[in-house]
Amino acid sequence: MSAHLTHTQDSAENQAVGDVEAYMTRLGQAARQAASRMRRAATADKNAALLAMAARLDEARQEVLAANARDLERGREGGLDAALLDRLALDEGRLDAMIEGLKQVATLPDPVGEIDGLRARPSGIQVGQMRVPLGVIGIIYESRPNVTLEAASLCLKSGNAAILRGGSEARASNAAIAACIDAGLRDAGLPEAAVQVVATTDRAAVGRLIAMPEFVDVIIPRGGKSLIERISREARVPVIKHLDGVCHVYIDASADPDKALMIAVNAKTQRYGTCNTMETLLIDAPVAETLLPRLAEAYAAHGVELRGCERTRVILPQAAVASEEDWATEYLAPVLAIRVVDGIEAAIEHIERYGSHHTDAIVTEHYGLARRFMAEVDSSSVMVNASTRFADGFEYGLGAEIGISTDKLHARGPVGLEGLTTRKYVVYGDGQVRR
């Protein structure tokens, strides 16, 4: 179903916005103006808005669930698959979690205004760096309507204005949630344009959103790889992006076998569809023969399909043949590629060649090898003796997460409030001039 068709067929929840370019320009202008108000918003006011949104959502449970039911019905009619429908669905439990999430963001420390490294210079000035909002953040996401609220709350708390563009399949839910956000902002005396939910499913809106550097400072796409690649290619503003997670666990010969087993099983099986799930297991040749059969047994109990290199298949004949393509694949499924390697050098080479620089772990009790792995593996998270599944904003103590960045510049790895801010230099003087 094309965006244009939806636009004309379903005008109730898809507002008639007129010319889409002009509409997006108006959103951009309003966001830019709201951003300069939000930049100086008091922490107390931002927290009050978050709590007011929570209260408004609690009052509007029936409206939100009714809107969600309309989205689900349309989705079923349109032939959405079960996984997408599940991501789209809201229920009382999910609403509870959304309300709780808002309250938690209110309790997080406000990153704005923090000054680091204030030092006196020989000239007599004092120089430091102050954390400040980025400005206007555009977020483009797919089916899950709770992202609307999560993104709004994180952008708000970090002093930014946000323009949110959700998936067309969630448009009724998003509109109902947007009403709660607006009301909460009004209750707290903050500008409603601090969070704007794009009220059209016309795809041209995305094209315009990512090409207004005068109004938008950064785009954060959340969704499938193809969406993110397209946005990165076409954007005229910086993009904080999250591509795939081809994550590795390398079990060195020096590993504690029990830790190795626990970590390798947890990293693969605790959840299959997440980006920090291990996709390839690398195992050092001297311990392959003893550990692989134990691992295979554990994976079999979880129904994980194994694909191995030749040396793996000598030990585990039940494993399928891993092709060159397997090493670079993010399965997001109960499938695991296994390769026997000769030591850490070969493991790091494999990770560098086939990995996606997301999260990689070593299991070892050897001090020097642990240090080397941590220094040399160029990924957003590197770990010793821990499951890759820990690569997550909450587990890292960020308190919240807008996504995981696989970029190198600005924010790398899980992105919390700090990743939505930048730092400017502050200089305090008493009349100093440059000689």
Interface with its own copies in residues 158-197 (CB under 8 A): none
Member of 141, 387, 402, 406 binding its own copies (CB under 8 A): 387
| 353 is a site residue for its own copies (CB under 8 A) | no
Please report whether residue 426 would count as binding its own copies according to CB under 8 A.
yes
Q: Residue 124 or 293: which CB sits closer to its own copies?
A: 124
Window 205-224: residues binding its own copies (CB under 8 A): 217-218
CB of 130 to its own copies, least distance (A): 7
312 vs 245: CA distance, rounded Å: 23
Cα–Cα distance for residue pair 402/417, rounded to 1 Å: 8
- Taking CB under 8 A as the criterion, the residue among 7, 8, 36, 55 binding its own copies is 36
- 403-405/413-415 β-pairing: antiparallel
Does 364 help bind its own copies (rule: CB under 8 A)? no
How many other CB atoms sit within 10 Å of the CB of residue 44?
A: 10
* Dihedral sign for Cα atoms in the order 125, 126, 127, 129: negative
Binder of its own copies out of 10, 256, 305, 330 (CB under 8 A): 256
Beta-carbon contacts of residue 147 (< 8 Å; ≥ 6 apart): 139, 141, 166, 222
Q: Which of 39, 103, 186, 294 binds its own copies (CB under 8 A)?
A: 39
Least distance in Å: CB of 238 to its own copies? 5
3-state DSSP call for residue 219?
strand
Residue 415, beta-bridge partner list: 403
Contacts with its own copies, 72-111, as mask; x by CB under 8 A? ----------------------------------------
Nearest distance, CB of residue 66 and its own copies, angstroms: 36
> What is the dihedral sign for C-alpha 96, 97, 98, 101?
positive
Q: What is the C-alpha to C-alpha distance for residues 335 and 357, in angstroms, rounded to an integer?
A: 20
Q: In this chain, which of 182, 413, 415, 416 binds its own copies, going by CB under 8 A? A: 413
The rounded distance, in Å, linking the Cα atoms of 5 and 7 is 5
Residue 30: C-alpha distances to residues 126, 162, 184 (Å): 36, 10, 18
Give the nearest distance from C-beta 39 to its own copies in angstroms. 6
Binding-site ranges for its own copies (CB under 8 A): 36, 39-40, 113, 119, 121, 123, 125, 127, 130, 132, 134-135, 217-218, 233, 236, 238, 240, 256, 258-259, 262-263, 265-267, 270, 352, 361, 372, 374-376, 378-387, 389-391, 395-397, 407-410, 412-414, 422-434
